[in-house]
Chain A
């Protein structure tokens, strides 16, 4: 079985401050992990992924994520938030070698306050 949890429905941060959006996962084997962003009434846009290798993954728009195997986490981070980063963020996981398709978290609404 595979699952993913985003424990915070809403995250608020001031512009210019660092931001973190949390994600934890559960898989039987090794994970493929993804972060996507969604703006209102739009589809999801891919930000970054972890497949293997370096635990710190860099992605689009200055975002990065840290894979922590012992804590089964894949938190999304950005050193300095912009108002334009305000959106809905989804973490997703797939168990490598599993026949199951991608499982998405419930999403975290990020609001960056000017």
Chain B
């Protein structure tokens, strides 16, 4: 079955540490997205990529970095510059082209501070 796989499901970060969240899709989608979800705030866009080797900042990119070396993969690094990283992180993908197509989501990674 096609889908989006996020790993790990739970992740703990120490002070001053960078951590990387994995997102892999086998849907052959061109566009991929990273969102942060906090209680009562909905989803906020961190970064997105519409094609391999290209990505753009979303609304809350500070303290995060991404890469898009392969179509299937869009890892997110939460750097030590992100002072409040505790949240639920969701990866999504969508076929490129007409933006009326819905996004498909992974099951998320919950990041906490040790």
Residues of chain A having any CB pair with chain B under 8 Å: 9, 32, 34, 36, 41-46, 49, 51, 90, 94, 96, 101-102, 104-107
Contacts and interface: CB of A to CB of B under 8 A. Distances in A.
Contacts of A105: 42
B105 to A, nearest CB: 3
Given A41-B108, A107-B40, A102 B100 contact: no
Given A42-B108, A104-B35, 4 more contacts: A45-B105, A46-B103, A101-B58, A104-B44
A105 B43 CA distance: 8
29 contacts: A32-B99, A34-B102, A36-B105, A41-B107, A41-B108, A43-B4, A43-B6, A43-B92, A43-B107, A43-B108, A44-B90, A44-B103, A44-B105, A46-B102, A46-B103, A49-B100, A49-B102, A51-B100, A90-B42, A90-B43, A96-B99, A101-B33, A101-B45, A101-B48, A101-B58, A102-B103, A104-B35, A104-B43, A105-B42
Interface in B84-110: 90, 92, 99-100, 102-108, 110
Interface in B40-80: 40-45, 48, 58
